[in-house]
Amino acid sequence: MDKFRITGGRPLKGRVSISGAKNSALPCMAAALLTSETITLHNLPYVRDIITQRRLLEDLGGTVLTPELRTHKINASHVEVFEAPYELVKTMRASVLALGPLLARFGKAKVSLPGGCAIGMRPIDLHLAGFEKFGAEVKLEAGNVVAYAPPEGRLRGAEIHFEKVTVTGTENLMLAATLARGRSVLHNAACEPEVADLADLLNKMGARVIGAGTPTIQIQGVESLGGAQHTIIPDRIETGTFIAAAALTGGALEIKDCYPGHLSTVIEKLREIGVEIEELNPTTLEVSCRGRLSASNMTTQPYPGFPTDMQAQYMVLMTQAEGVSVIDETIFENRFMHGSELQRMGAKIFVNGRSATVSGPSALTGAPVLASDLRASASLVLAGLVASGETLIDRVYHIDRGYEKIEVKLRQLGADIERVREPVAVPALQPLPG
């Protein structure tokens, strides 16, 4: 297992380019299952989850060509398997996004039911209730969700009212509805830019989706979908993470190939606490921080609210801010595991259920720490950049799932960070018998 060794205290300076959004790329890759024609996706981030999603598509019988590192040409004309096994789903929950397309195009799908994870229970009951509304028969067999389209072989469009906003739930049902008979309406749908990006791709494929990016999405089902080319939107969470890195280290960064419009709430909040952020043009931000940060309460919310995926990074900012801040996590029930690791580095954090109180500023000191999930690991990297001395972050495979070469990007900006590879144990040679 790789680790990151970071020696903190260096201000980050220079220019960094933002990669494509993992959480947009994953559903867009799943969309390729809806057609026998080729889907070409550009600007895919080079991260572990994309490799896992590719593996899933190939296991189902699809072919994936990579003419360039960040371009995939996906063809699902020969899908013969309709199953996402536990081995894959347990490493990446987004594999459940195969359910909607498989059910809609082939009338059957079997996907292992994901269990809870480091940030909460994360059930998929709302996805399944939606498929049932589309006329599917959904059963749970030996830990797998097994779903069949109605006897006529095609899902039926329906009105769905989500009782809770769910991002992949909205995407899964939107994917399924594109090939359903008749019209579907998704009410209380997730408004995240990744949902709108998926709808853009689907419409290029010939789907009829209106309203994605708002709480009401209308989908008129079509008989079949065709090939398309699509460029994935920039990753707003990676953008926010680099803004936080510039602010924490008192650096000055130009962040390019991003889309500031997708993180207006984050930019507004970080300006409020004292980070200087300027939009140089529609895809470039200039970030610096000369003065002290000031504490401010924050509550995570579905888009366009402050994203839960930036909560851990915000907590590190609050450890360096003057005053007391309360952070409320409303999306996931257990997303403060980074809190105890940050405490080990000297932060003053008190966690009570879904609320964390941070008193700052605290002088952080380097320590060995353990990453528990993707965004928690990003927060530990940020803490390591600001701490005095050496921080050793274990289990950085979490960060490799969603940040493209973060240590390389940070090093180019002047950070003292290196990946430490654990030597692979080679068994001792045994003498040959005889």
Q: Just list the catalytic residues.
A: 117
Answer yes or no whether residue 331 interacts with ligand EPU by CB under 6 A: yes
Nearest to 262 by CA among 320, 312, 306, 211: 306
Answer yes or no whether residue 164 interacts with ligand EPU by CB under 6 A: yes
- Footprint of ligand EPU on 363-382 (CB under 6 A): 374-375
The site string for ligand EPU over 239-258 (x = CB under 6 A, - otherwise) reads --------------------
Phi, psi values for residue 267, rounded to 5°: -60, -45
CB of 274 to ligand EPU, least distance (A): 26
- Cα separation, 156 vs 278, in Å, equals 48
CB of 256 to ligand EPU, least distance (A): 22
The β-bridge partners of 145 are: 111, 140
Answer yes or no whether residue 95 interacts with ligand EPU by CB under 6 A: no
- Cα separation, 344 vs 338, in Å, equals 10
CB of 59 to ligand EPU, least distance (A): 19
- Footprint of ligand EPU on 181-240 (CB under 6 A): none
CB of 392 to ligand EPU, least distance (A): 22
Answer yes or no whether residue 26 interacts with ligand EPU by CB under 6 A: yes
The site string for ligand EPU over 335-364 (x = CB under 6 A, - otherwise) reads ------------------------------
Q: Which of 6, 16, 20, 23 binds ligand EPU (CB under 6 A)?
A: 23
Nearer to ligand EPU, 330 or 359 (CB): 330
Phi, psi values for residue 58, rounded to 5°: -70, -40
Nearer to ligand EPU, 99 or 277 (CB): 99
CB of 237 to ligand EPU, least distance (A): 7
Angle among Cα 422, 428, 433 to the nearest 5 degrees reads 160
Q: Which of 45, 100, 213, 402 binds ligand EPU (CB under 6 A)?
A: 402
Answer yes or no whether residue 167 interacts with ligand EPU by CB under 6 A: yes
**Binding span for ligand EPU by CB under 6 A among 36-44, 142-150, 160-168, 200-208:** 160-168
- Cα separation, 37 vs 225, in Å, equals 8
Work out the number of other CB atoms within 10 angstroms of the CB of residue 68.
9
- Footprint of ligand EPU on 103-142 (CB under 6 A): 120-127
Q: Residues binding ligand EPU: what is the number (CB under 6 A)?
A: 24
Chain position carrying tokens 């992949």: 168
Nearer to ligand EPU, 311 or 391 (CB): 311
Residues forming the site for ligand EPU (CB under 6 A): 23, 26, 94, 120-127, 164, 166-169, 307-309, 331-332, 374-375, 402
